[in-house]
Amino acid sequence: MNYLDGLNAAQAQAVQSTEGPVSVIAGAGSGKTRVLTTRIYHLIRKGIPANEILAVTFTNKAAREMRERVRAMLGDVALNDTPFIATFHGLGRELLESYGKVIGVPRYFSVYDRDDSEKVVASALKALDVETKELSPRAVLGRISRAKGEGLRASDYHERHGRSSFGNRITSEVWLRYEKTLAAEKALDFDDLIALPVHMLEEHADVRARAQERWRYIHIDEYQDTNNLQEKLAGLLAEKHRNIFVVGDGDQAIYGWRGAKMENILNFEKRNPGAETIVLEHNYRSTRNLVDAANGVIEKNKNRKNKISTTENARGEPIVIHIAVNAEDEAHWIAHKIRDLMRDGTKPEQVAILFRTNFQSRALEEGLLHAGIPYKLLGTHFFARKEIKDVLAWIRLALDPTRQVDMVRAVASPPRGIGKVTLGKLVAGQRESLRSSERSKVETFEKLVAEIGRAVDSLCASEFVKLVIEKSGMRAALAEGNEEERERFENIEELASVATRHDGLPGREGIAAFLADAALSSDQDEMDLPAKAGQKEKGGVTLMTVHAAKGLEFDTVFVSGMEEGLFPHHGMGNDVNRDEEEERRLFYVAMTRAKTRLFLTLARIRKIYGSDFLSEPSSFLADIDNTLLLLDETTGESFGSYSSEDVIEV
């Protein structure tokens, strides 16, 4: 039983509690991923078939890490199969691919990303003569998404809201058109990947029974981030055997604004009678100063389970607070502090700069550029780049030449003399009205798509991506172009490297899995992209929002913009009312990303939407014990109504 060595008593209890419902309240840095992976290994050692084990988390990055850890623990153990470890959307995709034909979902479907969905919604609004100023595609799609999250179908929504307010009435009409387009394109959107499996399991007892027997031991990571449908999906799968093991921390619930229900973990015992609850309070990540400071912040929240993190780590350095004159001065100070740390041996990839809202990134980027510090900004989503979406459109079209959305995109990437009028006739089914010259160009394009499509079953994913880049003409169009075009070509080359993750699967299956991963990728997946050919592994300081940092850790963390109204966020002059307890949880998440050093910075004056605002220190700073703080007085200046010494007394 040496694999249990090194676990503390609570961790060992969680690993060995294998039967019935179990809830693990896991504080920041408490080793929850180790507990999850060790428990999966423990089940296999007990004789549970690996393919009866399911583990679900929220990002591809977390799922990959979990799979790699389990493989490492198994070593040379011979298995006929492996545990299924995926994101919630990956689980939904697997359920639909395996059983979806009972509800009319084809075996190979594509997944619309947000941009694809907005374009279809925009087209539907135009057909209904609704101006985007009256109702934006993003707003309509948001209404549809929320309704799907509540378990509604388009027909349900239309029946309920078809004669109500303007916004709801138009949304109901758009949604019906949107569903027709998805069906015609053999496509689903992100919300469908959860909603459709739930409907399927609820309405088809035979499918539900097969899925329940398939996975008898179910693990759900980050349970505080589940919404109602995700909780229902987990509950349907665990209904028969009741072996559901959930891990989470209400103190890190930061996604209430997008439908996550922290109550799912707070009320787990009520909804699962006889459930065992285990609390992991030992923090292995951060210094004692950081743990004590984070405790001081989060204990102010009332809607939480009682939990006090402890650590045996060294006391560590105090938390540094710095007051800048403005955002540019703040960025300048952060950049120079990082440069000093780098001179002392800190690697830039061990440093993160976190911010509450995206507009803050501009000044921070400029500060790092001016100081010559390498960095990467999470949020510049790799799979959302035009050239990447162009290649993916070609790949999807090769798998299914009837997809009109991808046909329209592929025809223009690179351009081949087929204009909008010709495309309009094709989309409208008016092929017979094409002139001979137009028909010739279309037929040449279709022959090319068919030629590429014939290789689908014979090439692995990465080789197929390379074939598409070559045959489509994208290599010829970009490789020898200007600097911007060459950079775009390097990006599509990188796409072939990403596809190697699926080279172990045969032909069409591997290509479909690659497309699904591309559609379901998140900002954190940017950190795991391989380096471009001829380059060293990516490095540099990481810039990202606090939300994007969830689940990550860094040696040194800077949290910028610690000003009242910005963090905690009060809508900055809008009517948006943020949940202050969720804002405090967000600050707790930011603090607990740091292992050894934490810097909190604020600007006396912040320019927002073109206007200067005189700021006050964040009220969250008062939640930290003064003895854990150190004021940086590099400037020695005082600003208006308070000086740098006053920040601790706020």
Task: Give Cα separations from 335 to 158, 262, 369, 557 (angstroms).
Answer: 53, 36, 9, 12
pLDDT at 572: 38
Greater pLDDT, 184 or 497: 184
> How remote is the C-alpha of 100 from its chain's centroid?
25
In the chain, CATH 1.10.10 covers 110-185
- In whole angstroms, give the CA distance from residue 190 to residue 519: 9
In the chain, CATH 3.40.50.300 covers 9-97+197-282, 319-374+538-631
Contact status, residue 580 vs residue 300, Cβ threshold 8 Å: no
Is residue 273 scored above 70 in pLDDT?
yes
Given 13, 16, 18, 33, the catalytic residue: 33
Name the fold adopted by 110-185. Answer: Arc Repressor Mutant, subunit A (1.10.10)
Query: Does residue 239 carry a catalytic annotation?
Result: no
Name the fold adopted by 319-374+538-631. Answer: Rossmann fold (3.40.50)
Binding-site residue numbers are 26-33
Query: Does residue 339 carry a catalytic annotation?
Result: no
Given 252, 360, 542, 592, the catalytic residue: 252
Q: Which amino acid is at 78?
A: A
pLDDT at 526: 55
Given 593, 595, 597, 604, the catalytic residue: 593
**Cβ neighbours of 376 (radius 10 Å):** 17
Query: Does residue 221 carry a catalytic annotation?
Result: yes
Interval 422-443: pLDDT, tens: 888 887 778 888 888 888 888 8
DSSP string for 384-422: GSHHHHHHHHHHHHHH-TT-HHHHHHHHBTTB-S--HHH
When the pLDDT of each residue in the chain is averaged and rounded to a whole number, the result is 87
Query: Does residue 82 carry a catalytic annotation?
Result: no
Q: In what order do the strands lie in the sheet with 276-280?
A: 84-87, 53-57, 217-220, 244-248, 22-26, 276-280
Interval 511-565: pLDDT, tens: 988 887 787 776 555 555 544 433 344 579 999 999 999 989 999 999 999 999 8
pLDDT at 1: 56
Given 94, 113, 191, 221, the catalytic residue: 221
CATH architecture of the region 384-528: Orthogonal Bundle (1.10)
DSSP state of 431: G
Is residue 75 scored above 90 in pLDDT?
no
Closest CA to 519 of 197, 115, 177: 115
User: Computed over its alpha carbons, how large is the radius of gyration of the chain?
Assistant: 26
For the residues 491-499, what does the mean pLDDT come to? 82
Query: Is CATH 3.30.1490.20 the classification given to domain 9-97+197-282?
Result: no
- Environment class of residue 595 by beta-carbon count within 10 Å: exposed (0-12), middle (13-18) or buried (19+)? buried
Strands 594-603 and 375-377: unpaired
Reported as a pLDDT band with limits 50, 70 and 90, residue 635 is low
- In whole angstroms, give the CA distance from residue 355 to residue 353: 7
pLDDT at 525: 57
Q: What phi and psi values does residue 14 have, to the nearest 5 degrees?
A: -65, -40
**Three-state secondary structure call for residue 522:** coil
- In whole angstroms, give the CA distance from residue 522 to residue 548: 9
Least confidently predicted of 214-223, 272-281, 591-600, 638-647? 638-647
Is residue 27 scored above 50 in pLDDT?
yes
Is residue 639 scored above 60 in pLDDT?
no
Reported as a pLDDT band with limits 50, 70 and 90, residue 99 is very high
Contact status, residue 525 vs residue 329, Cβ threshold 8 Å: no
Reported as a pLDDT band with limits 50, 70 and 90, residue 493 is confident
Query: Does residue 252 carry a catalytic annotation?
Result: yes
Q: Which tokens sit at 75?
A: 């070593």
The predicted model scores a pTM of 0.81
Reported as a pLDDT band with limits 50, 70 and 90, residue 108 is confident
Q: Which tokens sit at 170?
A: 């138009």
For the residues 121-134, what does the mean pLDDT come to? 89
Residues 6+ apart with CB under 8 A from 490: 532, 533
Q: Which amino acid is at 631?
A: L
- In whole angstroms, give the CA distance from residue 252 to residue 550: 8
Reported as a pLDDT band with limits 50, 70 and 90, residue 571 is low
**Three-state secondary structure call for residue 154:** helix
- Which H or E element spans position 223? none
Is residue 641 scored above 70 in pLDDT?
no
Q: Which tokens sit at 527?
A: 């950190």
Is residue 638 scored above 50 in pLDDT?
no
Least confidently predicted of 307-316, 440-449, 494-503? 494-503
Is residue 140 scored above 70 in pLDDT?
yes
pLDDT at 482: 77
Greater pLDDT, 72 or 237: 237
pLDDT at 212: 97
Least confidently predicted of 93-107, 109-123, 208-222, 573-587? 573-587
DSSP string for 177-197: HHHHHHHHTTEEETTHHHHHH
pLDDT at 343: 95
pLDDT at 535: 39
For the residues 445-465, what does the mean pLDDT come to? 92
Contacts 24+ apart (CB under 8 A), 499-503: 499/461, 499/462, 499/464, 499/465, 500/461, 500/462, 501/461, 502/460, 502/461, 502/462, 503/460, 503/461, 503/462, 503/463
Least confidently predicted of 126-140, 239-253, 377-391? 377-391
Given 116, 222, 225, 406, the catalytic residue: 222
Query: Does residue 304 carry a catalytic annotation?
Result: no
Which residue in the block uniquely carries the two structure tokens 């402890």? 310
In the chain, CATH 1.10.486.10 covers 384-528
For the residues 323-343, what does the mean pLDDT come to? 94
pLDDT at 577: 41
Question: 67-81, 85-99, 425-439, 477-491: which has the highest mean pLDDT?
Answer: 85-99
The per-residue b/e assignment along 297-306, b for 16 or more CB within 10 angstroms, e otherwise, is: bbbeeeebee
Is residue 573 scored above 80 in pLDDT?
no
Strands 605-608 and 611-614: antiparallel
pLDDT at 160: 86
Binding-site residue numbers for ATP are 26-33
Task: Give Cα separations from 524 to 13, 157, 357 (angstroms).
Answer: 31, 34, 17
- In whole angstroms, give the CA distance from residue 562 to residue 546: 12
- In whole angstroms, give the CA distance from residue 633 to residue 635: 5
